[in-house]
């Protein structure tokens, strides 16, 4: 992998070294998970945290892993990172069997968990990264130069000699990412990378993730920020109760939740009577009130991409409605519809 340097606020590939191929099979995806399950405990009543999960991440691809807390996302990430052994299934990292050869697989990935822990608080950022560079196998002659590159990438160069205990939560989050980038792994597992960041820092970190994609890295991103997932990811996977319930673009997630297009119309507050009349129309999946720029709107979700706008117009004919818009469902709308369906909302 070529060296990286920061230019005009972005992470770009440097010109100093040729890219190093570290995939056992150059045609293999960076991550290939096949029918992986994990059970905690033994016996017929032992709970399953993950059941029959399959996914792939290619070079230059960002894949978002979505799901409520406690649904198996962290367990899956820890299995991919070789910190947990699957009960069954196959995990390959850059063509390497991560279960049979965990040390080799681990050199090809970085798990960035973030949070307040993971550093020596009384040591400086530079001292911490020197220690973790040695663990990651960065050559000694390259260590200080590589540390400066990753600190520059996350905009912490000016704070390299400050103790980590003096860092804000957002700064520690960026330092976690710098640590993950030290060995230039082709695959990164990012767990809630923008948690605790102010809007400006989160924007910069999202730009960095895009640069990692352009550099040919693969990224598996777990996040609760669905707008962020829609903005950054090439595909999304929804994990519910340990199983992948949907995968693909926002329209695919929405379709799995029984949601097609969404119509928004400016209207007075949504009354129970109006909601019932709209819900009774053929093809209506959901009705809710919202506001846009401080003005109340009614949002109607349809179960197909052919909404019956004439029937809707007849229902609201006596109301002072304004502009109507009909559009594909967003990732957030599709995700919520899917969770509702899987949790018994309409099935």
- Of 65, 18, 2, nearest to 212 by C-alpha is 2
For domain 4-252, the CATH class is alpha beta
Burial class (CB in 10 A: 0-12, 13-18, 19+), 130: middle
pLDDT of residue 286: 93
Q: What percent of the chain has pLDDT over 70?
A: 92
Backbone angles phi, psi at 191, to 5 degrees: -100, 110
> What is the value of pTM for the model shown?
0.86
> For residues 208 and 305, what is the distance between their CA atoms, to the nearest angstrom?
35
Question: Tell me: the pLDDT tens digits for 296-320?
Answer: 899 999 998 788 999 999 998 888 7
Torsion of CA 82, 85, 90, 96, to 10 degrees: 30
For domain 260-328, the CATH class is alpha beta
Assign 1 a pLDDT band (cuts: 50, 70, 90): very low
Residue 24 predicted with pLDDT over 80: no
Assign 22 a pLDDT band (cuts: 50, 70, 90): low
Residue 17 predicted with pLDDT over 60: no
Indicate where the chain has its CATH 3.40.50.300 domain(s).
Answer: 4-252
Question: Tell me: the pLDDT tens digits for 320-336?
Answer: 777 889 999 999 999 99
Indicate where the chain has its CATH 3.30.70.1340 domain(s).
Answer: 260-328
């Amino acid at each position: 992998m070529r060296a990286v340097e920061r230019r005009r606020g972005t992470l770009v590939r440097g010109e100093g070294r040729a890219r190093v191929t570290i995939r056992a099979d150059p045609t293999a995806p960076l991550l290939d998970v096949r029918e992986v399950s994990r059970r905690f405990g033994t016996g017929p009543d032992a709970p399953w945290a993950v059941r029959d999960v399959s996914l792939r991440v290619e070079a230059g691809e960002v894949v978002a892993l979505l799901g409520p807390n406690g649904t198996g996302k962290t367990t899956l990430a820890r299995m991919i990172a070789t910190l947990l052994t699957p009960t069954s299934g196959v995990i390959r990292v850059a063509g390497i069997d991560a279960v049979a050869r965990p040390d080799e697989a681990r050199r090809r990935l970085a798990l960035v968990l973030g949070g307040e822990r993971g550093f020596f608080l009384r040591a400086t950022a530079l001292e911490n990264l020197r220690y973790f560079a040695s663990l990651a196998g960065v050559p000694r002659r390259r260590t200080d130069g590589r540390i400066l590159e990753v600190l520059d990438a996350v905009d912490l160069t000016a704070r390299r000699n400050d103790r980590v205990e003096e860092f804000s939560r957002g700064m520690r989050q960026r330092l976690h990412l710098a640590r993950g980038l030290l060995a230039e792994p082709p695959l990164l597992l990012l767990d809630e990378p923008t948690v605790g960041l102010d809007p400006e820092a989160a924007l910069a970190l999202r730009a960095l993730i895009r640069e990692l994609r352009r550099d040919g890295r693969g990224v598996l991103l777990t996040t609760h920020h669905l707008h962020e997932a829609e903005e950054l990811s090439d595909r999304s996977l929804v994990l519910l109760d340990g199983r992948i319930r949907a995968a693909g673009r926002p329209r695919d997630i929405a379709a799995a939740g029984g949601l097609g297009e969404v119509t928004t119309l400016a209207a007075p507050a949504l009354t129970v009577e109006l909601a019932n009349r709209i819900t009774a129309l053929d093809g209506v999946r959901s009705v809710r009130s919202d506001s846009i720029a401080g003005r109340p709107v009614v949002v109607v979700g349809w179960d197909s991409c052919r909404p019956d706008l004439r029937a809707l117009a007849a229902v609201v004919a006596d109301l002072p409605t304004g502009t109507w818009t009909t559009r594909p469902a967003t990732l957030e709308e599709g995700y919520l519809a899917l969770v509702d369906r899987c949790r018994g909302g309409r099935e």
